[in-house]
Amino acid sequence: MERLGKNRGIADLESPADSRKSLYSSFVWTDYKAQLQKRVRAEDLPKYFHLTESEKIGIQETIRLNVGTTPYYLSLSDPEDPNCPIRKMIVPRKEESFFSPEETLDPLHEEDLSPVKGLTHMYPDRVLLFSNHECSVYCRHCMRGRKVSDSSERMETADLELCFDYIRNHPEISDVVISGGDPLNLSDSKIDWILENLEKIPHVKICRLGTRNPVTLPMRITSDLCKIIESRNTDRLSIFCNTQFNHEKECTPEAKEAILKLLKAGVSIGNQSVILKGINDDGETMLRLHRKLLELRIRAYYMYDPELIPGSRGFRTPLAKGIQIIEYMRGKVAGMGIPQFVNDLPGGGGKVSLGPNWYLGFHKPSRNHVFRSAVRGTYHLSPEPVDSDYEEFYPEVSEETWSKLLQNSYSAFKGLGPLGESGK
């Protein structure tokens, strides 16, 4: 029988469950700095998961960003189930090992729209400030994998000062999105310094923090951090937060506590989910997520179609999936729980909203618009104002379609009963 070598010990014989217990008990769980120091790297993953062959290939041959997760986020994953949604966002798979022909490092052309290092100016009135190249968890679907976890992308103080100079010299900029990496992985003092600089620029009225830490490291949302944010959230600068919950398993008590702290600091919070194959690409999963988010007091903002980034084939879904999801959710949760389905257009075209075809068009002879009900699937008529001169603006409903729908459509004079029965 082979003896244990000098570098092998009891830990090598532990099951993933036992290894996790050892990790979780090795530090103060609520200390966010310790969570970051104890991050699980690629070489550690075999200790905490029974890996599949696909995962082993992904870990060894990924062409994407580095691998890393906090113990907290690791604890939300299943060591045995390769279909666990959290696990799929932590552990690379073989699809990450090849660069597909349709993929590119920078599909949104952010670098071409960057007047100075770390700043993207795509829309006239707003800019994106790349504040930090580090994250608490390196999500496998990250759309900025070309920058995140790459130390050469580190933003030094001098780089950030050049960004502030650019913003000062462009009075049309009123809105600054601070992203990365995760800006809340910076020190409290650096965050305060960035917010202070923005607050002092007269034409900057809005600051949006783009952070996934409420999901991946909720203990980072400390009282001290919230005091800093609250002190800068003034009549001169309105601070918002957009985070990214992708699955209901992420909606934990710890996450809710972090969100409540931000809300008490006067920060409005929205969620930007990403449709991910095999994780949340169906209506019921997205519906459960967004119901949970409302319980956490988070409003839905965007639901993104995945980007054409290297090694991302395993996550991308047909465009129709997003439309189907929105159609499924409508009528089953309050409107503030339904995100806009958006495609951030390749080539730097910006975001466009997509949705089900509730509007069939305009019937000119009767001057009625024809709609399909999201709740009932029935057809409904709404007249154009008599003094309107916009008739040529609308797509037309053909006479054939009109004649088919007319007898079974509803108007203000023919309603539906509470159970869907027609009434007069």
Question: Binding-site residues for [4Fe-4S] cluster, please?
Answer: 135, 139, 142
In the three-class reduction of DSSP (H, G, I as helix; E, B as strand; rest coil), residue 78 is classed as coil
Q: Any bridge partners for residue 341, and if so which?
A: 303, 354
- 82 burial class (0-12, 13-18, 19+ CB within 10 angstroms)? middle
Contact 89, 140 (CB under 8 A): yes
Q: In residues, how long is the chain?
A: 424
Tokens of 89: 């966002």
- Whose tokens are 């009767």? That residue is 366
Backbone angles phi, psi at 228, to 5 degrees: -65, -50
Contact 369, 394 (CB under 8 A): yes
Three-class SS state of 265: coil
The interaxial angle of helices 157-168 and 188-199, nearest 10 deg, is 20
The whole-angstrom separation of Cα 270 and Cα 259 is 10
Going by the annotation, the residues of the binding site are 135, 139, 142
Roughly how many angstroms between the first and final C-alpha of the chain, as a whole number?
Answer: 86
Query: Residue 416's Cα: distance from chain center in Å?
Result: 38
Strand-pairing partners, residue 274, are 304
Single-letter code of the amino acid located at 12: D
